[in-house]
Amino acid sequence: MRRSHEKTLKNEKGNTCKIPRAEAVKICVKGTVQGVGFRPFVYRLAKSMGFTGFVKNTPRGVEIHLEGDSSVDEFIARLREEAPPNARIDTLELASSQSEGFTDFQINITAEGQALVFAPPDLSTCSECLEELFNPSDRRFRYPFINCTACGPRYTIIRALPYDREKTSMASFQMCPSCNDEYNNPVSRRFHAEPNACPVCGPETFFVEGETLKKGGIDIAAERIRHGKIVAVKGLGGFHLMCDPFNPEAVKKLRLIKQRSRKPFALMARDVNSAKSIAVISPEEEEILTSPSRPIVLLRKKMEIEGVSSGLSTYGIMLPYTPLHALLLENIPVVIATSANPRESPILKDESEIPPGTCDCMLTHNREIVMRCDDSLVKVVDGCLVFLRRGRGYVPEPLELRFSPGKRVLALGGELKNTVSIVKEEYLVTSQYLGDMKDLRNQEYLDEVISHFKTLYSFEPDILVCDLHPAFTTTKKAENWGRPLIRVQHHVAHVFAVFAEHSIIPDAPVLGIAFDGMGYGEDGNVWGGEFFVIRGTGYERIFHFRYVRQQGGDLAVKEPWRMVLAYTLDADINVNAVDALVEVDARIVKNAENAIKKGINAPYTSSVGRLFDTVAVMTGVAPEKIDFEAEAAMRLEGVALADVEDYYPFRLEKHEIDMREMMKTLLKEKAPPQVKAGKFHNTIVQIIKSIADICRSRWGINKVVLSGGVFLNALLMSKTCHALQEAGFEVLKPEKFSPGDESISLGQAYYTALKLKEQE
């Protein structure tokens, strides 16, 4: 669970080495080592050990030059052990060098060159800054923009690299002499803390209510929240709407403003103890909750707060991640903190974007948000992080590829829950969550991020990548770019996204599994339950779920009874024997039945997402029509008994997984829905296990990749992993990126990078 993980320690020959005395040594450190206070740390360490030489940022990380008689081994050990909390050392290369006779140790700030892709993510306020924030004798007492080299805004205020104050939205604030001294003092916690500021010279907050505007005003905003008002609060990556979750009137009003009937609201708790008063928190969850990334973590409810997350067993909770939030919540244990944007549109970063009638009053500030970015949303499953939305605190941490494809790649992703990714030299960067590309406002957000990446990373693509779907706006954008274009099938992209985060180059065959709602298949059908054998960038679709008709297209997603009907007809079951269908208007069912039989507006689908919907409705745990995406599947997971061991019959025929026997048995069986749901989950696990066994005997495959939005289902993920691992398979799953469509651009980019590498 630790953020830092380390890979190699080697010299040029690849061996660890002891450096002879009196010679100089050069150490190149790669990873997240810029914008996190790494150079001052190296400076202090080297000085304390009596080394002379220098440390400097390079386009690829940090270079350290050491001279002196002290132990280099000890230096390296301490470099790893004592590194700042947000630093992540990926590789550490050691080489002997010429002694240059340095008499002191310096931080070299010139000749840094063009930084590659190292824009750091935003970091929550560190404990030392928090202490100063609440210390009456500190000059930054109650200053809402306190920060240091270990914390503060990064990605959301950076305009271009290398990361330097002049290239951030702090450029307009001239540092006062005291701040300037800290900034230039290598032993200060604020040495080159680019957003360094204080009450004398830095940004300030404003409280706006009707015609009145008041400087400061954090206390007034807190007062308004306590009195049931809806307050818009400008934070790091955008505006939240905040209100008191224990005030039913306020919650009701917020639901009206946000046009959400059941979809849950996120909460911000003052501290871990406040969070623990409403939710159960495991040590692993606490570690994530309090980590510098400070995501929203899904936590099991301890008590019901009416209207916050109705019908679900969890709350999404985060802790204050800026000094402004810490001050605002000083006397409030918990607030609702939902993004202020209208439904389905990008998070708002500017007061001018807030539609009238959205809030009662506003707490804003004059530090411009350069790049908007949503809060990240995660859960912890089997001790591992699972991303439901990846944004603030994690983006834009680059992935190191371990090879350079030689060309610059821009991958535009798919359509729903989209992101974009770029490959520059040996690095891959994936953007924050951008939302549904059918919405014009999100298309503009996509353009905003692409042009931001172009400036930030001085990036121009040589090659574009898009989905196979001919009608996606991202496909059209890619086609119109006027550059060579590669199209990657949706589910292949899902699998390659997992390869990317685990740095896998599939030289030997691997079984790649992608289960999701929908993706455009190579045969023109809707895919979503796919098994690939993959070698290099070549792949074969060895199994898929038997096609059924998705009558009504997208309508069948919102009205899962249509899928129930399709499965019923496919399995030759009498329609009248299915309760869920009897409850729908008979004429509408008859029309749908005819459409299915004639294949009108009824594409074939192999989607596992739709299969989960079907079983959820058939067992009676979900309504015939749903309110939000994946609601039916989530309810099925919610009721499933984990300790059921049975499973339903299924058949593997040629390339097809046939579920007709399961449907018949499930309908006839007189068992509670909790048992049926459990058995259904086990059936999917058994199918995966059986196909993995086939792959092992045919191709000697021992490695299995699990991908696609269906694997957000914790029960399925957990049972599948255990079954495969017990059988001796190595399982690779998404941990640093979302299992869902947010990772399509990542997979596209990595697939293309490997393809380019193969062509070399």
Q: Footprint of Zn ion on this chain (CB under 5 A)?
A: 126, 129, 148, 150-151, 176, 179, 198, 200-201
Answer for which of 397, 501, 516, 742 binds Fe ion (CB under 5 A) is 516
Q: Could you tell me which stretch among 19-27, 514-522, 569-577, 694-702 binds Fe ion (CB under 5 A)?
A: 514-522
15 exposure class (CB count in 10 Å sphere: 0-12, 13-18, 19+): exposed
* Strands of the 24-32 sheet, one edge to the other: 8-10, 88-97, 24-32, 61-67, 52-58, 105-108
Residue 162 CB, nearest approach to Zn ion (Å): 21
250 binds, among Zn ion, Fe ion, none (CB under 5 to 8 A by kind): none
The token duo for 380 is 């912890």
151 binds, among Zn ion, Fe ion, none (CB under 5 to 8 A by kind): Zn ion
Closest to 205 measured CA to CA, from 322, 371, 296: 322
Q: What sections of 149-236 are H helices per DSSP? A: 177-184, 218-226
Closest to 164 measured CA to CA, from 285, 64, 325, 35: 35
Of residues 150 and 437, the one with the C-beta less far from Zn ion = 150
741 binds, among Zn ion, Fe ion, none (CB under 5 to 8 A by kind): Fe ion
Of residues 84 and 396, the one with the C-beta less far from Zn ion = 84
337 binds, among Fe ion, Zn ion, none (CB under 5 to 8 A by kind): none
The token duo for 598 is 């004639």
Angle CA 396–285–132, to nearest 5: 70
Of residues 140 and 679, the one with the C-beta less far from Zn ion = 140
Please count the residues of this chain forming the interface with Fe ion, following the rule CB under 5 A: 2
Q: Who's near 321: CB < 8 A, 6+ residues apart?
A: 122, 124, 125, 235, 236, 294, 392, 393
Of residues 374 and 516, the one with the C-beta less far from Fe ion = 516
Residue 525 CB, nearest approach to Zn ion (Å): 53
Of residues 198 and 589, the one with the C-beta less far from Zn ion = 198
Of residues 198 and 236, the one with the C-beta less far from Zn ion = 198
**What's the distance, Cα to Cα, between the start and end of the chain in Å?**
37
x/- string (CB under 5 A) for Fe ion, residues 696-735? ----------------------------------------
Closest to 704 measured CA to CA, from 716, 689, 684: 689
Q: Who's near 138: CB < 8 A, 6+ residues apart?
A: 132
CA torsion 704-710-713-714 (nearest 10°) is 20
Is there a contact between 599 and 525 (Cβ–Cβ < 8 Å)? no
Residue 686 CB, nearest approach to Fe ion (Å): 23
Integer Cα distance of 506 and 732 in angstroms: 12
Of residues 29 and 129, the one with the C-beta less far from Zn ion = 129
Residue 519 CB, nearest approach to Fe ion (Å): 5
Integer Cα distance of 67 and 74 in angstroms: 14
Does the protein bind Fe ion through residue 741 (CB under 5 A)?
yes
Report the residue count for the chain: 760
Distance of CA 457 to CAs 61, 179, 424, Å? Answer: 15, 29, 8
x/- string (CB under 5 A) for Fe ion, residues 432-471? ----------------------------------------
615 binds, among Fe ion, Zn ion, none (CB under 5 to 8 A by kind): none
Does the protein bind Fe ion through residue 375 (CB under 5 A)?
no
Residue 529 CB, nearest approach to Fe ion (Å): 11
* H helix count then E strand count, the chain: 22, 33
Amino acid at 37: G
Residue 707 CB, nearest approach to Fe ion (Å): 8
486 binds, among Fe ion, Zn ion, none (CB under 5 to 8 A by kind): none
Residue labelled with tokens 């009238």? 356
x/- string (CB under 5 A) for Fe ion, residues 472-511? ----------------------------------------
Amino acid at 153: P
Residue 218 CB, nearest approach to Fe ion (Å): 42
148 binds, among Zn ion, Fe ion, none (CB under 5 to 8 A by kind): Zn ion
Of residues 157 and 548, the one with the C-beta less far from Zn ion = 157
Residue 516 CB, nearest approach to Fe ion (Å): 4
Closest to 151 measured CA to CA, from 236, 272, 89: 236
Residue 417 CB, nearest approach to Fe ion (Å): 8
Residue 188 CB, nearest approach to Zn ion (Å): 12
Q: Could you tell me which stretch among 91-99, 512-520, 609-617, 718-726 binds Fe ion (CB under 5 A)?
A: 512-520
Question: Omega of the bond prior to 162 within 30 degrees of 0, cis?
Answer: yes
Of residues 637 and 741, the one with the C-beta less far from Fe ion = 741
Q: Cα-flanking dihedrals φ and ψ of residue 173, to 5°?
A: -105, 115
**DSSP code of 161?**
S
Of residues 516 and 559, the one with the C-beta less far from Fe ion = 516
516 binds, among Zn ion, Fe ion, none (CB under 5 to 8 A by kind): Fe ion
Name the site residues for Fe ion (rule: CB under 5 A).
Answer: 516, 741
